[in-house]
Amino acid sequence: MGHSIIKKAIKEGRTLLTETEAKELIKEAGINVIETRLARDKETAVDASRALHFPVVLKVVSPDIVHKSDIGGVMLDLKTSAQVRKAYDEIMAAVNEKAPKARIWGVSVQKMARPGIEIIIGVSKDPQFGPVLMFGLGGILVEVLKDVSLRIVPLERRDAREMIKEIKAYPVLEGFRGREPADIPYLEEMLLKVSKFVEINPEIKEMDLNPIIAYRDGGVAVDARVVLEAPEKNV
Ligand code: ADP
Ligand code: MG
């Protein structure tokens, strides 16, 4: 049992999946993911940008880096091949300086998603209750104000609905002051898919879709992080 991406990582002794691996994995769980490609060098990144159509985003791909933007590893809204080449060089320079020991596999090239409401779905494991799902709005709302809701896996539709409604920032999802609302049934569906996914993949220790950009119709995950259980638990 277990997924091939997970198996490969375990075989290589890794517990952190790269963004591109994590995205591939959650895509198979039926979650909408922004189209993303791995490029191992600069010119491949340019080719991928052209194929995906500008504007694009470049991010460092490394099995050793958890928070990509903290070290200058994310460049948004690149509109030309020249900007992509420059961003590639800047990312490599920043990573070389801030994480000199990290193994670098290249960059991910992805479409720049249009703005919407940034939400977070997270999974962590409680020693007693097992996987716990977290829902909140992106940015300072989660990190500073801890405005999140939690539920134990497996979730039912009603749990998903309540989870979304009980955060303090809920009015933002309804379209605060004429701004675009979020597709709440769609977010419920995403929570249920994540719940099902971690239920059938016990090798997953932690998972973050941070952020998912939510729109009036649907939504898309633009970043994904998956941490696997330590090897001894996976034999
Ligand atoms: P980190 O590893 O630092 O969490 P992210 O991949 O989440 O890096 O990128 C940082 C931020 O950049 C995100 O929170 C989001 O606001 C923005 N972002 C990332 N990818 C995209 C994208 N494809 N389209 C639009 N915005 C993006
Ligand atoms: Mg992120």
Spatial distance between the Cα atoms of 215 and 88, rounded to a whole number of angstroms: 30
Spatial distance between the Cα atoms of 229 and 214, rounded to a whole number of angstroms: 30
pLDDT at 233: 55
pLDDT at 209: 97
State the chain's mean pLDDT as an integer.
Answer: 95
pLDDT at 139: 78
Enumerate residue ranges in the chain where pLDDT < 70. 1-2, 233-235
* Substitution candidate for ligand 1 out of 222, 226, 227 with most atoms within 8 A of CB: 222
pLDDT at 2: 64
- Is ligand 1 within 6 A of the CB of residue 37? no
Token pair recorded at residue 208: 């973050």
Q: Do 218 and 190 meet the contact criterion of CB atoms below 8 Å apart?
A: no
Q: Which ligand is nearest to the CA of 210?
A: 2
pLDDT at 173: 97
* Substitution candidate for ligand 1 out of 23, 56, 74 with most atoms within 8 A of CB: 74
pLDDT at 104: 98
pLDDT at 140: 74
Spatial distance between the Cα atoms of 106 and 124, rounded to a whole number of angstroms: 28
Ligand 1, residue 66: give the atom nearest the CA: 2
